């Protein structure tokens, strides 16, 4: 572990799923102090997590939420898209007016209806790391890249020490494009892995599953071309999805993991978000719609 950087912020992590746990681990390894926010301020948690990282011996990490007096100046937000409003609400009064919020979640539109402090700085992050959690065990199936940024060219000071531990973490001032690219890949891989109940790599069957990927991707490219224009959207959603499915072949997608655990999935904020955009542009995405409906039905069964 490194020495704490000068004037290092204290980080609060909300959402100890796979990426949240891994982020907390990297923040601690970079020398920052970290607290985990429990789901309700009155509810203290202590978690022990196991990280069989490729470069280190397995290790156990304890995180505490024992400093509730500290205002939240730096929040690492990794709750599931559909849990965001509920998980964040009790902490809103504790957020500093100029808080930095790093939002590392699948999906889009998660903060739309939340009254964040007016001066807070929302930084989005988008990761293609293949990570999953099984009880307190974190499994890293693929260390890829994580783009992080707002619209500024200058990264915050805390990024540099973090980058030394968080492999593949890059500042990207054009984060919107990165987020759309991630969203579209998630919209192809996640619902299909959840419906076929297969790992990412098993979508690459040269047959029915790949044809389903193509149908989703074509509809999505049709929509994104309308939103961004031909010159700004490369219409390569299928190629990017095939490539990520190959790179994360052994991974259980987050949507399949939710489904297997009997939890609600993020479908409303991934393909559901795309359907809401499609409505605004007066287009229909029939195959996306049918995947959303099938997953919504499964969400209802899990409630």
CB of 186 to ligand KPL, least distance (A): 5
- Judged by beta carbon, residue 248 or residue 299, the one nearer ligand KPL is 248
CB of 185 to ligand KPL, least distance (A): 6
- Judged by beta carbon, residue 78 or residue 100, the one nearer ligand KPL is 78
Tokens of 31: 């020398």
CB of 256 to ligand KPL, least distance (A): 8
- Judged by beta carbon, residue 23 or residue 35, the one nearer ligand KPL is 23
CB of 57 to ligand KPL, least distance (A): 25
- Judged by beta carbon, residue 13 or residue 242, the one nearer ligand KPL is 242
- Judged by beta carbon, residue 30 or residue 253, the one nearer ligand KPL is 253
CB of 270 to ligand KPL, least distance (A): 9
Binding residues for ligand KPL, per CB under 6 A? 106, 128, 130, 186, 189-190, 200, 244, 248, 251, 253-254
């Amino acid at each position: 572990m490194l020495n704490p950087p000068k004037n290092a912020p204290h980080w609060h992590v909300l959402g100890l799923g796979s990426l949240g746990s891994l982020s907390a681990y990297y923040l601690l390894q970079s020398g920052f102090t970290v607290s985990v926010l429990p789901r309700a301020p009155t509810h203290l948690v202590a978690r022990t997590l196991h990280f069989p990282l490729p470069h280190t011996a397995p290790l156990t990490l304890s995180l505490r939420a024992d400093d509730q007096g500290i205002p939240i100046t730096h929040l690492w937000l990794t709750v599931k898209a559909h849990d965001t409003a509920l998980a964040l609400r009790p902490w809103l009064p504790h957020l500093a007016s100029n808080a930095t919020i790093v939002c590392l979640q699948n999906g889009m539109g998660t903060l739309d209806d939340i009254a964040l402090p007016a001066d807070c700085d929302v930084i989005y992050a988008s990761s293609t790391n293949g990570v999953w959690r099984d009880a307190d065990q974190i499994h890293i199936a693929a260390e890829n890249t994580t783009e992080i940024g707002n619209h500024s060219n200058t990264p915050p000071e805390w990024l540099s020490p973090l980058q030394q531990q968080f492999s593949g973490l890059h500042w990207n001032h054009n984060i919107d494009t990165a987020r759309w690219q991630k969203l579209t890949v998630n919209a192809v891989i996640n619902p299909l892995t959840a419906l076929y109940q297969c790992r990412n790599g098993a979508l690459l069957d040269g047959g029915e599953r790949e044809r389903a990927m193509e149908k989703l991707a074509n509809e999505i490219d049709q929509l994104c071309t309308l939103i961004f224009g031909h010159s700004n959207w490369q219409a390569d959603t299928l190629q990017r999805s095939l490539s990520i499915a190959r790179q994360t072949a052994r991974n259980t997608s987050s949507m399949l993991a939710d489904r297997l655990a009997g939890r609600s999935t993020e479908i409303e904020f991934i393909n559901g978000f795309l359907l809401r955009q499609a409505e605004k542009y007066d287009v229909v995405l029939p195959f996306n719609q049918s995947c959303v409906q099938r997953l919504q039905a499964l969400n209802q069964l899990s409630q």
